[in-house]
Structure 1
Amino acid sequence: MLTPCDAAFLSSLAEKLPPGRLAQAQARHLEEPRGRYAGQPGPVALPQSTAEVATIVAACNAARVGVQPWGGGTGLVAGQLMPSGPLPLILSLEKMTALRGIWPDENVILAEAGLTLGALHEAAAAADRLFPLALASQGTATIGGNLATNAGGTAVLRYGNARDLCLGLEAVMADGTVWNGLKRLRKDNTGYDLRNLLIGAEGSLGVITAAALKLFPIPAHRVVALLVVPSPAAALNLLRQMEARIGGLISGFELIARTGLEFLSEVGPHLRQPFPTPPDWCVLLELGLPAAMEPEATMAALFEEGAEAGLVEDGVIAASEAQADALWNIRESLPEANRRVGAVSSHDISLPLAEIPGFLAEAPARLARFGSFRINAFGHLGDGNLHYNIFPERGQDRAVHDPVRDAVKETLHDLVHALGGSVSAEHGIGRLKIDDLQRYGDPAKLAAMRAIKAALDPNGILNPGAVLPA
C-alpha cells in the first residue's frame, strides 16, 4: 500500500538533498497533450545528478511514496501523470541535460535523460553525425522519455525505434541502487538484457538517467518528394518497388490521406499545399543517398518506374532544403490539425503491411453503425504504423459521440487484433491503454510482466498504475 507524499516526508527528503531540489509542480507537470487527464497538484523533485535521483528514489521506496517520472510531458497515453491515488512525488529530470561525451569515429553519443531530442540532434550535427529519431515534439520530448516509451517516429523504416538506437543505459532502480550500464559496445552478450527491459517500460521498472546512443553518418544527398498514389495498396507496392531498386536508402515513407490535408485548410496550421485539389492518398518520401548516387537521376528513375507501373499519378520533388522542409511540415502539422478539429477517438496502431489496405477498407464500414464520422488515417506506412483518428462531421461537436466513444475504440481495436496488429504501435500503454493490454495481451506475457514488476519494484512505487494495474 502506497502512502501520500506529505509534508513530513518532504521535510525528511529535503534534508538529504541540496537546496532547491524540491518545488511545487507547475501546470506543465500536470497536463498531457490531449487534455483527457490531469495530474494531482503536488510536489516535484528536480535532481541535477544521478546520485540525487538515487537518493530521492531510495527515500520514496523506504516510505512507500509513489514516484511519477516526468520527461518532457509529450506522451499521449497519460504515462507521465497520476490522476488519482495517493499523492506521488513527481520526479522530473529536466535539470539533467548534460552531454557526457561524443565519439564521432565510433558513432556514439552519451547524453543525460533530460536532454531534449532537438538538442541531441544539434549536438550530433555539430560532430557531422546524425541521430535519426525524429518526432514532431522533438523540441520538448526528452531522451529519457523517448527511451522509456520506445518512441518511433518517421525514420523507423531505415533506423529502427528508440530501442534500436540505444547501446547502453544508466538507471536508478526502485531501491535506489544505480545500474551503470553506459557501455559503448555493439556486442555485449553477458546475461539478461536489462537495457531492453527498461526501454519501453515507461519508468515502471527503473528511472533512466543517461543513455549511450548510436549515431550515423549524415547522408550526402537528401531527396524529399510528395507523390500522389491511387490507393494504400499502390503505396505499399511502390515501397516494395523502390526497396528493390535502392535497398535500405529510404529514410521515410509516410502515408497521408485527403482528410488530413483538408483539416490543414479548414483549421490550420495553414500551409501552402502543392496540389490545388487534395488527392485521396499521397506518400511523403525521403531518401538519404550516398555521394556516389546522383539524387535527381535516382528520384526521376523511381518516379518514372512508379508511374509506368500505375503506382504514381502525380508528384512534386523538392528542389531545395527549404522545399524539403516545407513538405515535411505538412506531415508534421497533421497532429496539430487533428487537435484543433477535436477527435472522437484517436488510435496509434500497427498492422502487418499486407493487412493495411484491407483494414483501411473494412474499418469505416464497422464504425458506420455508430454514426457518421470523418476519418484521418496517416502515418509511418513503411513500418506498418498508422494513426487512425476518428472525428465528428464538420460543424458537429465531438461530445455528440461521447456515448459511443468506448464502443468505437473497442470495435476498431478488435479489428486490429484480429488482423494480427497492435493497439499501441509507438505511444506505449501508460494509463490510457491498461484495459487494452489486459484485453489483447498474451496471458503468458502478462504473467511474466507482473512477475518482473514484483521482482524489480516490490513496493510498487515506480509509476504506479502505468502499464500494469496498480
Structure 2
Amino acid sequence: MTPAQSDLIAQTRAALGEKAVVTDPADIAPWLNDWRGRYHGQAAAILAPDSTEGVQTIVQSAHALGVALVPQGGNTSMVGGATPPADGSALILSTRRLNRIRAIDPAAGLAVVEAGVILEHLHAAAEAEGMRFPLTLGARGSATIGGLASTNAGGTQVLRFGTMRALVAGIEAVLPDGTLHQGLSPLKKDNRGYDLKELLVGAEGTLGIITAATLRLVPVAQDVATGWIGVASPADALKILRALEARSGDAIESFELVPKLALDLVLKHIPGTRAPLAGSHPWLVLVDYAGADARASLETLLQGVLEEGLAADAVVAANETQATAFWRLRDSISEAERAEGPTMAHDISVAVDQMPDFMVRAAARVEAAFPGVKATGFGHLGDGNVHFHVNAPAGVDADIWRREVGEPASHLVYDLVNAAGGSISAEHGIGQMKRDELERLSSPARMGALRAIKRAFDPGELMNPGKLVTLAPTLPSK
C-alpha cells in the first residue's frame, strides 16, 4: 500500500464511515479476479460508497492524492475490464451499494436507476409496474446497471430494442476530477455540444464513474412464445430470420444461433439439460416471438419455414417452464465450455448479411491453421454479432495452449474480422484483453481520437488504468 492510498483510505473512512472501506484481504479476494479467470489483480482496499455524493468525495480525494481507481459493479466483465492492476497500484471503487431504484414512471416509459442495481432486480421492479427493461443476458443475476452502461452491453434482445446505448436516456456520472455530470433528464433534443452521455456509455469507466442512469422501459409483453429450430447452416438460419421478420413485423425479439458442438457440450456438462429436438442437427436456432396469440402464431410461422425446406425440424415451447429450459441451453454455453477445457473467446461483429459466410469460412481457416482445435460461433446472428470461440483439444495444459496456440489463433480471428470490415468487440468491450489488438488493428485516426478524449478527461490516467486505451507519451523519451 502506498502512502497516498493509505491517506485515501483514511479520508474515506472518516468521511463515509466504516462500511465504505473494506481492507480485509479475505473480503477483497473474490473481487480481484475476472469472470473468466484470466486476469488476477491486487488492491489494498475496496471503497464502497452508498451515494453519488460519496462517490464524489472519494474521487475528489483520489484526484488530489493521485490515486488510481478501478470502478467495479458485478465484476462480470468478459475482457478483464473491472480487474485491478496486478501491481496493486489502484484501489477498487465498488458501486454495489448504490443500489436504489429512484423512480419508475410507467406512463413515460422510464426508470431512474442507480449504478449498483442488479439487472434482475430491475426486471422484477419494472414488471411489478406493468413494464419491462428490454435487455437481458446470462449474467443478469449479478451484472449491474452501471457496468452494463459502461460497456454498452448487448444481450439477446438487441434485435428489436438495441444495445444499452439505445436504452439509456440519461446519465449521472462523477468525472475524474470529482465534478458531477447531472444528465439524467431524458431530453429528446439537446444541442449543447458534445454528448457526454454518448461518451460515457461504452467508455468502460475510463472517463468517469456512472452513478445512475435514466433507462427506457417498454410495456410487459402479454404473450411470448419460444421456439427451437434445427437447420443445416448459418445461411439457412439467416433466411429463416428474414422470413419471420417479413411475416411478423417486429414480433421477433430474439434470434440466437447455436452450433451442435456447443449444444453437445451443454448436454454433457450442465445437469438437467436435454435436447429439444430428436435427431442431430448441425445448427440450432432459439427464437422468441412476442405478440397476440404468440404460441399459435409462432407455430404457424415455423410450419411455413419447414414447408419451404429452410428448417429440418422445429418445436415451440409448450409453457414457460419449457421456454426457460430452452433458454438455459443457450445461456449455459460459456459455462459448459469452461468445464470442457480452455477456450479463446472472441466477441465479434461483421455486417449481418456477411455473417453466415464469415462463420463458416473463418472456422475453416482457423482449424486448418491450428490442427486439433475446434472453431465455431454462436449468438446473435440477427445483430451480426457472434461469439466466435476456438476450443482446445482434450488434455492440453491450459496456460501453454493459450500462449502457443490460443493467442496466435486469436490474432488470426481478429485479422479475418478486420479484413471483413468488422469489429473485434461487438458487446463485451475492450478491457485489458483486447487493448493491444485494438491498437494493432485500428487506424491512427481512431486511436488518436480515443487518446485525445482520454487525455482531456483523465490526463493522469487515474480512471480504470490499463483498460481500453492508454495515453501515448506526449514527449519523446530521453
Give the TM-score band, short-chain normalised: over 0.9
1:437 aligns with 2:438: yes
- Tell me the TM-score normalised to structure 2 length: 0.94
1:54 and 2:56 matched? yes
Q: 1:138-171 CA distances to partner (integer Å, 9 max, x unpaired)?
A: 1100000000000000000000001100100110
Q: Which amino acid aligns with 1:436?
A: E
Q: Does 2:361 match 1:380?
A: no
Give the TM-score of the pair, scaled to structure 1: 0.95
In the TM superposition, residue 387 of structure 1 has moved relative to its aligned partner by: 0.8
SS in 2 for 1:144: helix
Amino acid at match of 2:273: L
Residue identity opposite 1:451 in structure 2:
A
Correspondence for 2:31 among 26, 29, 32: 29
Instruction: Return the offset for 1:405.
Output: 1.9
Per the alignment, residue 264 of structure 1 pairs with 266
Residue in 1 that maps onto 2:393: 393
- Flag the 1:277–1:343 CA change in 2: closer, same or farther, 3 A: farther
Q: Show CA shifts across 1:431-467 (max 9, x none).
A: 1110111012232121111111111112211111111
Q: Is the 8 A contact 1:264 1:270 kept in 2?
A: no
- Deviation track 1:278-301 (CA, whole Å, cap 9, x = no partner) reads 411011000111xxx332442232
Q: Which residue matches 2:448?
A: 447
Distance 1:43 1:348, change over 3 A: same
Matched, 1:302 2:304: no
Deviations 1:60-108 (A, max 9, x none): 1111110110110000111101233452121001111011111001110
Query: Per the alignment, do residues 443 and 320 of structure 1 end up closer, same or farther by CA in structure 2, a change over 3 Å counting?
Result: same
Residue equivalent to 2:474: none
Deviation at 1:180, TM superposition (A): 0.8
CA-based RMSD of the aligned residues comes to: 1.8
Give CA deviations for 1:37-71 in whole Å, capped at 9, x if unaligned. 11103111010110110010011111111011011
In the alignment, the residues of structure 1 paired with residue 156 and residue 197 of structure 2 have an alpha-carbon distance, to the nearest angstrom, of 23
> 1:303: Cα distance to partner?
1.2
Structure 1 residues 93, 40: closer, same or farther in 2, change over 3 A?
Answer: same
CA-CA distance at 1:364 after TM superposition: 2.7
* Cα displacement string for residues 381-424 of structure 1 (whole angstroms, at most 9, x for unaligned residues): 11011111111234555456331222101011100111111111
The match for 1:92 is 94
**Residue equivalent to 1:426:** 427
**How many residues in Structure 1 have an aligned counterpart in Structure 2?**
466
User: Is 1:465–2:466 an aligned residue pair?
Assistant: yes
Match of 1:163 in 2: 165
Does the Cα contact within 8 Å between 1:344 and 1:401 map onto a contact in 2? no
Asked whether the equivalents of residues 345 and 389 of structure 1 are also in contact (C-alpha less than 8 Å), the reply is yes
Query: Is 2:359 aligned against 1:360?
Result: yes
- Stretch of structure 1 that moved more, 222-231 or 357-366: 357-366
Q: How far apart are the structure 2 equivalents of 1:405 and 1:60?
A: 38
Task: Report the alpha carbon displacement of residue 304 of structure 1 after superposing the two structures with TM.
Answer: 2.3
AA aligned opposite 1:380:
H
Contact 1:5 1:86 in 2 (8 A): no
Q: 1:20 to 1:140 in 2, by over 3 A?
A: same
Matches within 5 A, 1:236-251: 236-251=238-253
Compute the displacement of 1:184 (Å).
Answer: 3.0
Moved more, 186-195 or 29-38: 186-195
The aligned amino acid for 1:231 is S
Map of 1:148-227 to 2, 5 A cutoff? 148-227=150-229
The CA distance in 1 between the partners of 2:8 and 2:455, in whole Å, is 24
Deviation at 1:7, TM superposition (A): 2.2
Deviations 1:221-241 (A, max 9, x none): 101000111210011111111
Secondary structure in 1 matching 2:7 = helix
Question: What SS does the corresponding residue of 1:6 show, helix, strand or coil?
Answer: helix
Letter in 1 for 2:470: P
Residue type matched to 1:364 in 2? A
Question: Shift of residue 189 of structure 1?
Answer: 3.5
Are the structure 2 counterparts of residues 4 and 194 from structure 1 closer, same or farther at C-alpha, using a change threshold of 3 Å? farther
Q: What are structure 1's unaligned runs of at least 5 residues?
A: none
CA distance in 2, matches of 1:416, 1:224: 31
1:17 paired residue number: 16
Listed as ranges, the matches of 1:100-179 within 5 Å are: 100-179=102-181
For residues 312-327 of structure 1, the aligned pairs below 5 Å read 312-327=311-326
The amino acid that maps onto 2:386 is L
What is the DSSP-based 3-state SS (H/G/I as helix, E as strand, rest coil) of the residue aligned with 1:223?
strand
Cross-structure match for 2:310: 311
> Structure 1 CA distance, aligned partners of 2:77 and 2:149?
12
2:230–2:312 contact (8 Å) kept in structure 1: yes
Q: Does 1:71 align with 2:73?
A: yes
Give 1:287's aligned residue.
Answer: 289
For 2:475, the equivalent position in structure 1 comes to none
- 1:372 Cα shift? 1.1
Amino acid at match of 1:443: P
> For the Cα contact (< 8 Å) 1:4–1:65, is it kept in 2?
no
The separation in 1 between residues aligned to 2:278 and 2:373, in whole angstroms, is 25
The match for 1:273 is: 275
Task: Indicate if the aligned counterparts of 1:77 and 1:429 stay in contact, CA closer than 8 A.
Answer: yes
> In 2 relative to 1, CA 266–56 (structure 1 residues): closer, same or farther, beyond 3 Å?
same
Matched-pair contact (CA < 8 Å) for 1:72–1:94: yes
Q: d(CA) in 2 for partners of 1:325 and 1:420? A: 36
Compute the displacement of 1:242 (Å): 1.1
Q: For the Cα contact (< 8 Å) 1:50–1:209, is it kept in 2?
A: yes
Give the CA deviation at 1:357: 2.1
Between the aligned partners of 1:147 and 1:11, the Cα distance in structure 2 is 30
Q: Partner letter of residue 177 of structure 1?
A: T
Identity of aligned residues (%): 42
Could you say if the C-alpha distance between residues 150 and 12 of structure 1 is closer, same or farther in structure 2, counting changes exceeding 3 Å? Answer: same
